[in-house]
Chains A and B, each alone.
Chain A
Amino acid sequence: MKAFLTLTILLVALITTHVASAWRLPVQVLGTQLDPLPPLMLVIALRAPITTITILAIFGSLTQSTLSSNPLGLSLLPLYVLGFTVHINSPNLSHHHTGSRFALGAIAGALIPLMSLALLLLTNKEPLIGWFSLWQWSAGILSSGLMAVIFYPLIEWLDKSVEEQPLAAPFDTTTTIIRHRRFHE
């Protein structure tokens, strides 16, 4: 597990969720709140191990629900399902171009609210939904795509900055040469 990277990612999650809650401009302009956790989870799932994905899903959902009327840990399952699915299929997903990162971020931003809403309705809660929710969902999809484009180089830079990188070697560094021993001893 990349401990420093995991800690840094949790800090990024904490700061971005706080900023999204305190920043009034998106609500005044778009009429919707921005959720940074789906694009962040997507970018993490493409780079980090399953331990980091799990910790982010748990910490992100639990801290975010303290700012909201949502039940505790509502987005835990949706975030983990997204992270797990992306992580398992990461070799098959194209994420080296801005367009594909935007598309993946948009899909993440579309799925998480739907799954969270389904969980809310399954637990007999009465969320505020109307026709305007469709606009909020669409604006959320676009903003999630944009945030994925921003988060990708940020996390890449953080990974390189906080974790010790292996030195580039033209040979296999894992092979150990044992001397003074006969081969068939």
Chain B
Amino acid sequence: MNKEYRTKIAFSSMMKRTLPILLALLSTISFAQDWIKTGTGLGVEKVRLAVPDFKPVSSDGVTAALNKVFNDTLWLDLSNAGIFDMVSKSFYPLQAPSQPSEVNAEAWANQPPNAGMLAFGNLDAPSQDIVVQGWLVDVKNPTSPPVLAKQYRDKATPDNARIIAHKFADEIIMRLGGGIPGIAETKLYFVSNRTGNKEIWQMDYDGANQKQLTHLSSITLSPRVSPDNSRVAFTEFGKGGVEIGMYSLDLVRMVTFPHYGGTNSSPAWSSDGQHIAFSSSRSGDPEIYIADNDGRNLKRVTAVKGPDVSPTWNPKTNAQIAWVSGRTGLPQIYIMDTDGTNVQRVTDQGYAVSPSWSPNGQFLAFSWTRHYGPGAPGNQDIYIMDIASKQFVQLTHDSGRNDFPTWSPDGRHIAFQSDRNGRWQIYTMLADGTNQADLTKSGENTQPNWSSK
């Protein structure tokens, strides 16, 4: 403050002397720069978000049914996002706004709702279409313009109502969550045996719309979707042996991928979609190989005796691979550069498998049995480790066996498989271990993989 004050005094005295020149100069100077000043330690509380039900414009049954689907989906998406403190619906004022003019900002900003942001709108279903208008306003600063004002229109089906809710929720999450897109439209790919055979299935990130992709009537494992959502690579137990299979989501059928001989498994896409890493035992001992996304230019990357499987790329740089190696006996997790150099060991004991690298490149999630072996009763749990500092956090506790973690593209959620209820099912949780919920119920469902957009 002192600096500014002195500057002001000096400036005013200088002005008297040089006013004419300055006036001439000022006309050429561009307008002032906007400044924000803020700092750390300022209570990183979550945004308190209030989301009253959207108002149906007409009162017929179709609109009401679509409205319910929309409201339920929107609420679930926003409360699962992990970045909001959702204001409980029992605190809302009785008058739910449907237009910006109806918003009584004070009623929402004061106790008991004490909301920071308000998302509201209306839903209409005129003549086979569904039209949704939604707004997001800052009720603590009601004079500032609305953060979001969106309108969506599509054919009137419950699925479309759900998709519109996902889109609106993603917009809110992107605006208030630091520019990271929401995951409401992402998909999970997993293995299910509910048809009798282990096939690759797909579902929405919240467990809806579960549908079967492959119909190979044999065993398929470890699906991995490509970063552009065009193809799913997986391990196929076919007539020609255990090879990498490729299913095209665009063409809705299998496409060819080279067979290498030996046992080829656990494919992993690089985040630019240009390369696939996988484990192959074509040389006798399972080693990690890297090929182009069409299977050509095969390059071997590891060369140490002992099985090397389950590679995963560093999605931020694509310059490192983490994988599981049994070169010292029990499987442990290692990291190396993509040319095979600079091998580092990450876990020091027990039985560690299924590494998954977080989208920001900082963390590895994996499944670890820290005390393994006869007389050492350990549980298989999901852990997260910060690679730079090697500090780790245990995310699941005392809840059956937990394996195969996969990160969501926003880095805030992890899906995994758990047999805590008897059979293996897919679960999802926030990356701090809270909000664990199951997504699948029928059959046995394993090995989830989260799409990247």
**A and B, one complex?**
no
